[in-house]
Chain A
């Protein structure tokens, strides 16, 4: 089954404790990205990757890091989480062509206390 898998689904952590949210896709997609969803602000892109070892900032990259060492994986790293990073996070993937469908993971609910 074609899917984007995120882990964990739920996470509660303390301020400053480094964490990683994993994302994996099995569709051989070149393009992967991370979004956060906040009430009243909608979905905003954090980082994206056009292919292995190619990453770039989206609209709200501050406080986040990513890496793309393999085509299927695109982890989101919070080196020093803060309460304003409490949010619902989504990983998405698609082929690089602009006319293709985007697939989303099930989301990760992160709470930073």
Chain B
């Protein structure tokens, strides 16, 4: 059964720092990996989608990498801002089964201090 782990569970950094969030998964048979942002009590906003054949995706100050063979992905946030404070979730979509369900990590709660 696919398991997704995110480390660290919480992270606090001063404004302006570059930071890396980690995501690991146990089964490399995936279609893609998606990074989401969740603000407290709010919905999930998709940040980046990386297909299994890709190595990285970039959107603005965000860069996500994928190493499928080792079961790892990182989300790099450049020049962090207080508005980046949120919980970041990664999720993988498995190739096996018909459910197409995403398997989520438990998230990294990021706080960017002014």
Interfacial residues, chain A to chain B (CB-CB below 8 A):
31, 33, 40, 42-43, 45, 48, 50, 56, 58-59, 88, 90, 92, 94, 96, 98-99, 101-107, 109
Contact = CB atoms under 8 A, between A and B. Distances in A.
Given A107-B42, A107-B43, A102 B99 contact: no
Most chain-A Cβ atoms within 10 A of its Cβ — which of B41, B44, B106? B44
A101 B34 contact: yes
B95 A98 contact: yes
B contact residues, range: 20 to 34
A90 B99 contact: no
A94 B36 CA distance: 15
Contacts of B102: 43, 45, 92, 102
Interface string B40-72: 011111100101100000000000000000000
The 10 closest A-B pairs by CB, nearest first: A106-B43, A98-B31, A104-B44, A45-B101, A43-B104, A107-B43, A101-B49, A99-B31, A42-B106, A42-B104
B34 A106 contact: no
Contacts of B106: 40, 42
27 contacts: A33-B100, A33-B101, A40-B106, A42-B104, A42-B105, A43-B89, A43-B102, A43-B104, A45-B101, A48-B100, A48-B101, A56-B98, A58-B101, A98-B31, A98-B32, A98-B93, A98-B100, A101-B32, A101-B46, A101-B49, A102-B91, A103-B46, A104-B45, A104-B46, A105-B43, A106-B43, A107-B42
